[in-house]
């Protein structure tokens, strides 16, 4: 389950740098290193040196990673459906709108250089 976020993002944006992937997942790049090491060790991703910037590595899903994502997707969709059972669409729109505003506030605070939040 811990790899789901990485698998999902890479499904949509294969070949991101490790730093870009971390940012999209919302994890500090240093925290992502052990996850990437583990996923690479398990054959879910490969790291490929970026030909335009040899200091960077791009992360690519392997066929095994795609298969795992495909295997997990139905169970996660079912879990989400159960979790929102009985909640009106309008309520979910408000809920996700508020979450988006909170996330935006935190990102703006971080980009402004505030030390109030450790990432």
Q: What is the pLDDT of residue 44?
A: 95
Q: So what's the pLDDT on residue 118?
A: 58
Model pLDDT, residue 50: 85
Residues 75 and 98 grouped into a single domain: no
In this structure, are 52 and 106 located in the same domain? no
In DSSP terms, which residues pair with 60 in a beta bridge? 46
**Within the chain, how many helices (H) and strands (E) appear?**
5, 3
Same domain? 76 vs 98: no
For residues 80 and 72, is the Cβ–Cβ distance under 8 A?
no
Instruction: Identify the CA nearest to 58 among candidates 71, 49, 66.
Output: 49
Assess whether 24 and 57 both reside in one domain: yes
**Claim to verify: residue 73 and residue 104 sit in the same structural domain:** no
The parent domain of residue 97 ranges over: 88-114
63 shares a domain with 27: yes
- Global pTM reads 0.71
Residues 50, 24 share a domain: yes
What does the angle CA 83 – CA 87 – CA 89 come to, to the nearest 5 degrees? Answer: 115
Burial class (CB in 10 A: 0-12, 13-18, 19+), 44: buried
Distance CA 55, CA 106 (A): 29
Is residue 119 included in any domain, yes or no?
Answer: no
User: In the chain, how many domains are there?
Assistant: 2
User: Over its length of 119 residues, how does the chain's per-residue pLDDT go in tens digits?
Assistant: 678 889 999 999 999 998 899 888 888 888 888 999 999 999 999 999 988 888 888 999 999 999 999 999 999 999 999 999 999 999 999 999 999 999 888 888 866 665 655 55
Residue 109 lies in a domain: yes
């Amino acid at each position: 389950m811990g790899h789901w976020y990485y698998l999902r993002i890479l499904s949509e944006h294969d070949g991101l740098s490790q730093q870009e992937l971390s940012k999209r997942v919302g994890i500090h790049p240093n925290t992502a290193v052990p996850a990437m090491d583990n996923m690479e060790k398990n054959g879910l991703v490969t790291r490929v040196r970026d030909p335009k910037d040899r200091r960077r590595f791009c992360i690519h899903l392997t066929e095994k990673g795609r298969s795992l994502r495909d295997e997990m997707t139905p169970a996660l969709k079912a879990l989400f459906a159960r979790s929102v059972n009985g909640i009106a669409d309008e309520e979910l729109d408000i809920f996700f709108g508020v979450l988006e505003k909170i996330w935006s506030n935190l990102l703006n605070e971080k980009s402004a250089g505030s030390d109030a939040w450790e990432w």
